[in-house]
Chains A and B, each alone.
Chain A
Amino acid sequence: MSDFTPPQGLPSKGKPSRLVRLWTRLRTINMGRSAVITIPSLWLGIFFFIPFLVVFKISLSESAIAIPPYTAMFAWNPEDAYLTIKASFSNYLFLFQNDFYLDAYLSSIRIAAVSTFFTLIIGFPIAYMIARSKPTMRTLLLSLVILPFWTSFLLRVYAWIALLKKNGVINEFLMSSGLIDHPLIMLQTNFSVYLGIVYTYLPFMILPLYTTLEKMDITLLEASEDLGAKPYQTFFLVTLPLAVPGIVAGCLLVFIPAVGEFVIPSLLGGSNTLMIGRVLWDEFFLNRDWPMASAVAIVMLVLLVGPIMFMRSRSKREEV
């Protein structure tokens, strides 16, 4: 780039200025490549990072009866030219001092973790079976897994109410067959929340598991058997370790949305089902305490980024 002449109007000194250097770099970057990187970056910036900053800003203000319902962060006094920045951490303080929120977080994580575990237990055999079936069958079975997505998620959760309620389909059947005398209380319990989450998120577990299991070399299983491993040993020593990337991906895809789940606990859960998604909803729409709700959301985000980072670093280590 020795023949480079700076564009007119740019300062030209003995040492190329920062602007000139930037211009040089921009010229050398392949346009197509930068476009490919720029578009998703812009997307993330506009739809993730900026909203995140807005929510973070709101979380540092105080609730007020106004439109919008929180105090302003910046106050500009034209008389003495003072810019006052008011950042209140009282919401966070309140959040950490109050057991209610802590319980809600812990309970959400527990419910999400237990549901993720059951999704894995149920999803693995299904994914394994699909991956080992005939190629012609696979397409059919996979489309069966995806089929529920053709119906509204809300509708499917409502359908569970009809199945689980006191005089619902399941109870009616069990009563008429004489297996039980009194209807089982299934709706508005933690059980129905687990059921709803496992049911809803099962495809998100099956699909990544299927992808890893499907591309697994079957001769590896034969090699294991040939070396004297019984089928269960082959499963734990070969199949499972090789499926780890799929297990990690599936667990993240289920765990993360399950922690913040709002619809399932509010439709299927009872009053004692405490989940952070519901707390968030209540803060926003019942209490109209936007700053508090924002603080709850920010803390949840931090809590979720933690496990993702952990899993990522783990899977990176596995590869080496």
Chain B
Amino acid sequence: MSTSSILAQPKTIAVSSWREEGAKPFVQINQLTKNFGEFSAVNSVSLDIYKNELFCLLGGSGSGKSTLLRMLAGFEKPTSGQILIDGVDMANIQPWERPVNMMFQSYALFPHLTVEANVAFGLRREGLKSSDVKKRVVDMLDMVQMGHLAKRKPHMLSGGQRQRVALARSLVKRPKLLLLDEPLGALDKKLREETQFELINIQDELGVTFVVVTHDQEEAMTLATRIGVMDQGIIAQIAEPHQMYEYPNSRFVAEFIGNVNLFEGTVMGDERDSVTIHCPDSNSMIQANHGISCAPNQTVYVAIRPEKIRISREKPGTDINTSYGVISEVAYMGSQSIFKVRLTSGKEIRVTQPNFARDMGDRLTWEEAVYLSWDADSSVVLIS
């Protein structure tokens, strides 16, 4: 996994309605809970999704993200709570009546119908004229570049082609809200990357609101306008991708999105815009610029991303935010190198360095003693 793609700039669209004060959310989820017996799959989740958003629900298996999606589609009845889509309460609205379409993880293409008939299935249920149905099916298949395979049955298609048909079938009804369950999960890496950008383009073009469920944080980072990280049925954090990466609100989110080095420590001094933390694992005091509220002697965690740490043989000028240790592992990844440095306390720190030049001369190597340093701006202090 490359750090560069995690840091890829999130798509900037003209209006970021979720940033506006008083904007009306398109989908409102209020205190939504779903229990399966004793187990609470979704636990009192509240979430607003705005028009034209590409919202990613990110989480591991069993985090409740799929259950939440299925409740939006109407396949699961909430135990309690409320879902409003475009201001309409969905409580008593059946799946076939909702202005929502879903692209299934398995694609769920009807095996007995051709590509054409699969895409036309939803339109026929609306009672459209057959000439209109035909036109919209042709247009949609052309858009996903599947027009030439319209007469095929799904089992004669490759995984990528099936994915396109599934997308066409879910979009052809022009839903207000499109739900995508692990849309790219079954594709190989290269195809997945291509399709990610295609999805963004389609979403832009059609102005449909997308809710994507994924367990792949890279995918979420590339696709989403905003990400909601879910853990054990609750939403851990909702933020734009770069916000999520740079300012995680908990250790869980920091570790879930990308790689991170965590130091446990005690607050020694709290000033207006910086805090000094004593970490037994680090060799020096850690100073972080931030604005969290914490009290002296409180236990906190300092999170530092691997690419924000400098590594050198020479001792840095300052004593704050430095540490030293021995390189225990080196991995050359092409665009960057990953170092694992064992501090004197025994803690391993992960550091990534871009490979600026083709020949970097005297490379750092195994068992070398090195100094680590970082800026006060680079670390995030976490309470939980």
Contact = CB atoms under 8 A, between A and B. Distances in A.
B75 A222 contact: yes
Interface stretch (A23-31, A44-52, A223-231, A264-272): A223-231
A230 B96 contact: yes
B95 A219 contact: no
Interface string A208-239: 00000000010110111111111001000110
A242 interface: yes
B112 interface: yes
A241 interface: yes
B90 to A, nearest CB: 14
Nearest to B153: A320
B169 interface: yes
Nearest to B75: A222
Interface stretch (B21-29, B101-109, B215-223, B236-244): B101-109
Contact of A227 (B74, B75, B106, B173): B173
Contacts of B247: none
Contacts of A233: 125
A225 B104 contact: no
A241 B121 CA distance: 14
B96 A229 contact: yes
Nearest to A225: B95
A82 B73 CA distance: 86
A227 B104 contact: no
Contact of B173 (A220, A222, A228, A237): A228
A226 B173 CA distance: 11
Nearest to B172: A227
Nearest to B105: A219
Interface string B79-119: 00000000000000011110011101010111110000000
B159 interface: no
B122 interface: yes
B120 to A, nearest CB: 10
Contact of B106 (A219, A241, A318): A219
Interface string B155-186: 00000000000000110010000000000000
A298 to B, nearest CB: 38
Nearest to A241: B112
A233 B97 CA distance: 13
B192 to A, nearest CB: 21
B126 interface: yes
A238 B108 CA distance: 11
Given A226-B73, A227-B173, A219 B108 contact: yes
A61 to B, nearest CB: 51
A174 B95 CA distance: 46
A227 B169 contact: yes
B75 A238 contact: no
A226 B101 contact: yes
Nearest to B121: A227
Contacts of B111: 220, 242
B112 A228 contact: no
A238 B110 contact: yes
Nearest to A240: B112
A149 B106 CA distance: 40
B321 to A, nearest CB: 52
Interface string A286-319: 0000000000000000000000000000000010
B73 to A, nearest CB: 6
A307 B169 CA distance: 38
Contacts of B112: 241-242, 318
A226 B102 contact: yes
Contacts of B125: 227-229, 233
A26 B97 CA distance: 65
Contacts of A229: 96, 121, 125
Contact of B95 (A217, A220, A226, A242): A226
A7 B156 CA distance: 50
Contacts of B73: 222, 226
A111 B96 CA distance: 41
Given A222-B73, A222-B108, A224-B121, 9 more contacts: A219-B104, A220-B108, A220-B110, A222-B75, A223-B102, A223-B110, A227-B121, A227-B122, A241-B112
20 contacts: A217-B106, A219-B106, A220-B108, A220-B111, A222-B73, A222-B102, A223-B102, A223-B108, A223-B109, A223-B110, A224-B110, A224-B121, A225-B94, A226-B96, A226-B100, A226-B101, A226-B102, A227-B121, A227-B169, A230-B96
Top 8 A-B residue pairs of the complex, sorted by shortest distance between their CB atoms = A227-B122, A228-B125, A223-B108, A219-B108, A225-B95, A241-B112, A225-B96, A226-B102
Interface of A: 217, 219-220, 222-230, 233, 237-238, 241-242, 318
